[in-house]
Structure 1
Amino acid sequence: MQRITAGIDAGGSLIKMVYQENGRMHYKKFPISELDSALSWLRMSAPSLKVSLTGGKASVIQKKYFQDSVIYPEFKATCEGVRFLLSIENKGLEENYLIVNIGTGTSWHVVKGDKAERILGSGIGGGTFTGLGSLLAQGQDYHQLTDLAIMGNKSNVDMLVKDIYESAETPINGDLTAANFAKGKKLYHTEADRLASLSNMIAETIVLLTSQAAALHQVKNAVIIGSAIVDNPSLKSGLDFYMDMMGLSTVFLEKGEYCGAIGASLSV
C-alpha cells in the first residue's frame, strides 16, 4: 500500500491541506465552515493517511478526526514551508529576510540563517478585507470584493497629500494617503471606491509595519505569503508598490498560502 502523508493548516478562515502521494504534492483548501466535509473526504480518500496538524484549530481536528496525528507548532511550520518553497520555486535568498504572513490577521517572522522567530502580529489582514469589505459593499463574497477593489478609485474616499496642499508643491508624493477614508462624507463614492480605499489602507499598514521591522532587524528582503493576497490583485499590487517605495525587495511565492500546511507535512 502506498504511503500518503498530509499536513493540515486549520486557521481562522480557511483549512489548507497538502498531501504527498508517491513524492508528489497536492494542494487543497476549503472554507473553515466546510471543515467536517473536507476532512471526511480526506479520510475516505486516504484511509492510511499519516497526518501532521498545525493552526488554531489543530487540536479540535486531532480529537475529532485524527487521534494518531501530531500537532506541529504553527510558526515553525510556516517558516519551514517558506524555506521549502523558496527552494523549489528557485527564489532562494542568500541574505536574512522577513516573512509577512497575511492570513485572517498578519504575522511577521525574521529568518536569520537556520533560525526563525516571530517578531510581530497585527489584527489587520484578510479578515479585515472580507469583514469590513462586506459592510462597505453590502455583504459581497470574497471574489466580488476583490473585483470591486481593483475597479475602484481610492482618491474618491481617501484624502491625499495633494488634496491638502492643493496648488502648492507637495513635499512628498502627492498621491500618497494623508488620511484613510477622510472624504467618506464629503464626496460621492461607489462600493468599488470604498473597497479600493480599504485595500490601500491594509497595504499601507502592513508595509509600514514591515519597514519598521526590517529596519530593526537590518534586513532588506521580505517574503509575502498568505491567503489574503490570493486572487486579490489590488492588495498585492499595493503591497508591491509601497514595499518598493520603502526600498524593500519583495518575493511572492506561488503556493505561499500553503506554507503552514507544507511545513507540517514535512514533519511526517
Structure 2
Amino acid sequence: MQQITAGIDAGGSLIKIVYQENGRMHFKKFSITKLDSAISWLKMVAPSLKVSITGGKALAIQNSYFQDSTLIPEFQATCEGARFLLTKENKSIEKSYLVVNIGTGTSWHLVNGDKAERILGSGMGGGTFTGLGSLLSQVQDYQLLTVLAEEGNKGIVDMLVKDIYETAESPINGDLTAANFAKGKKLNHTEADLLASLSNMIAETIVLLTSQAAAIHQVKNVVIIGTAVIGNPSLKTGLENYLNMLGLTTVFLEKGEYCGAIGAYLSV
C-alpha cells in the first residue's frame, strides 16, 4: 500500500489538512469541534499515513490519533507554507517581507530569505469578528455574518473624520474613522451596519499594527494569510485599501489559510 504524507494544522477554531496523492496536493478543513470526523475522514481517504502536525492542539492530536507523527513549531510551519505558496502561485516579492496571519487572533512574522521571526501578536482577528458579531446581531454563523458586514454601512455607526470637520476642509481623508462605534448610541442603524463597523475596526487595528511593524523593520511588502480573510470581502477590502493607502504592497495567497498545514506537510 502506498504511504501518503499529510500535514495537519490544528488551531483554535479549525483543523486544516493537506495531503498529496498522485502528484496532486489536496486541501480540507473542518471545525475543531468535528475533530473526530476530520481524523476519521483522513484515515479513510489515506489509510497508510505519515503525518506532521502543527498548531495549538497538535500535541493533543498526536497523543490521541498519531503517536508516530512529528510535531512542527507553529510559526515555523506558517512561514514555510507562505514561502511555498508565494512560489507556487507565481507571486514575486522582495526578499524581506511581513507575513500577517489572521486566524482566530493575528500573528505577525518578519521573513528575510530563509529566516523567519514572529515579531507581534494580537487578540484581534476572526474570533473577534465571530464572537463580537454574534453579540451585536442575532446571527451565529460566520458566513452569514460576513454577508451582513458586506451589506452594511460603517459610516452610520462609526464617527468619520468628515463628521467632525463637516463643512471645513479636512486635513486627511474625510472617510477615515475618527472613532469606532461612536454613533452606536443612535437607534437608526441595522445589524449589517454594526457588523460593517466591526469589520472595519478589525481591519484598521491590524493595519495600524502592520504599518508600525513595517516601518520598524523597513519592509514594504505584506503577505496576508489566514482563515479570517477567506470569504470575508469587507475585511479583505478594508485591509487592502488601508495598506495600499499607507504605501504597502499587499499580497493575498489563494490558499493562505493552509500555510500551517502546508509547512507541516513539507517537513514530513
Shift of residue 57, structure 1, vs aligned partner: 0.3
Provide the rounded CA distance (Å) in 2 between the counterparts of 1:173 and 1:222.
23
Provide the rounded CA distance (Å) in 2 between the counterparts of 1:135 and 1:178.
23
Equivalent AA in structure 1 for residue 102 of structure 2: I
Q: Which whole-Å deviations, capped at 9, do the CAs of 1:119-161 have from their partners, x for residues lacking one?
A: 0000000000000001111233011100000000001100001
- How high is the TM-score relative to the length of structure 1? 0.98
Q: CA RMSD in A?
A: 0.8
CA contact 1:4–1:22 (8 Å) conserved in 2: no
CA contact 2:100–2:108 (8 Å) conserved in 1: yes
Provide the rounded CA distance (Å) in 2 between the counterparts of 1:197 and 1:232.
14
Q: Does 1:89 align with 2:86?
A: no
Shift of residue 164, structure 1, vs aligned partner: 0.8
Q: Which runs of 5+ in 2 are unaligned?
A: none
Partner of 2:162: 162
SS at match of 1:118: strand
Q: Does 1:152 align with 2:152?
A: yes
Shift of residue 231, structure 1, vs aligned partner: 0.4
SS at match of 2:211: helix
Shift of residue 113, structure 1, vs aligned partner: 1.4
Shift of residue 20, structure 1, vs aligned partner: 1.0
Q: Does 1:13 align with 2:19?
A: no
Provide the rounded CA distance (Å) in 2 between the counterparts of 1:141 and 1:135.
12
Runs of 4 or more consecutive aligned structure 1 residues displaced over 4 Å after TM superposition: none
SS at match of 2:44: helix
Shift of residue 41, structure 1, vs aligned partner: 1.6
CA contact 1:106–1:125 (8 Å) conserved in 2: yes
Shift of residue 187, structure 1, vs aligned partner: 4.5
Provide the rounded CA distance (Å) in 2 between the counterparts of 1:47 and 1:67.
15
Partner of 2:208: 208
**How many pairs are equivalent?**
268
Shift of residue 92, structure 1, vs aligned partner: 2.7
Q: Which whole-Å deviations, capped at 9, do the CAs of 1:31-90 have from their partners, x for residues lacking one?
A: 111011111121232221000000000001001100010100100000000000000100
CA contact 2:94–2:221 (8 Å) conserved in 1: no
Partner of 2:48: 48
Provide the rounded CA distance (Å) in 2 between the counterparts of 1:176 and 1:139.
27
Equivalent AA in structure 2 for residue 185 of structure 1: K
Partner of 1:196: 196
Provide the rounded CA distance (Å) in 1 between the counterparts of 2:153 and 2:93.
35
Counterpart mapping for 1:89-128 below 5 A:
89-128=89-128
Partner of 2:242: 242
Q: Which runs of 5+ in 1 are unaligned?
A: none
Equivalent AA in structure 2 for residue 118 of structure 1: R
